[in-house]
Amino acid sequence: MSRRFAAPLAAVDSVDSAAGTRIEAVKRIVSDDPYLVGHYPDFTIYPGVFTIESVHQAVRQWAAERHGPGTSVELTTITSVSFAAPLLPGDTMSIGCDVTDLDAPSTVRVKARCHRADGVLAGRMTLELRIHREDGHDDA
C-alpha cells in the first residue's frame, strides 16, 4: 500500500487567505499533541519540521481555496529555514506567508515568518511548492 502522506496532523488551527497572495495562519501548541512526546525529554518544544509543516498546510488550504477541492501542494525546495526561538506548550504561533508565482509551471515561492504570541520571531523560511489541480492541470 502506498500513501502520499502519513496520518494527517493538525499543524494549523486556522487559516485566513482572503488577501490574495498573503496567508495568515495560527497554530496553538498543545502539550498533549502526540508529536510533542519525547521532543526533547525534560524540555518539550514544537519540532522545527512541524513549523515547516504548519506553513505547508497553510499554503495547501490557500491553494484549495484558490483552485478548488482536490488541489494538492507538493513541497519541492526548502531554499532557506532558520529557527530563532523555541515554541513551547501553551504558545500560539502566528504564521505570515507571502506567495509569489514563479516562472516554473505551477510553482510558487512562499516567504514565511512565524512569531510567538509575545511577538518573538520563532522562525522564518523560504519554500518552493508545486500546485497540482484535481482536473490534471498544474496551475499556480
pLDDT in tens, 2-15: 446 556 788 999 99
Q: Is 67 a catalytic residue?
A: no
- Which CATH architecture does the domain made up of 16-132 adopt? Roll (3.10)
Across the chain, what does the average pLDDT equal? Answer: 89
Q: HEC profile for the chain?
A: CCCCCCCCCCCCCEEECCCCCEEEEEEECCCCCHHHCCCCCCCCCCCHHHHHHHHHHHHHHHHHHHHCCCCEEEEEEEEEEEECCCCCCCCEEEEEEEEEECCCCCEEEEEEEEEECCCCEEEEEEEEEEEECCCCCECC
The pLDDT of residue 9 is: 82
pLDDT digits (tens, 9 = 90+) for 48-62: 999 999 999 999 999
* Model confidence at 1: pLDDT above 80: no
Q: Single out the catalytic residue among 39, 56, 67, 132.
A: 39
Output the pLDDT for position 135. 63
Query: Which pLDDT score is estimated for 39?
Result: 78
| Confidence check: pLDDT of 128 > 70 | yes
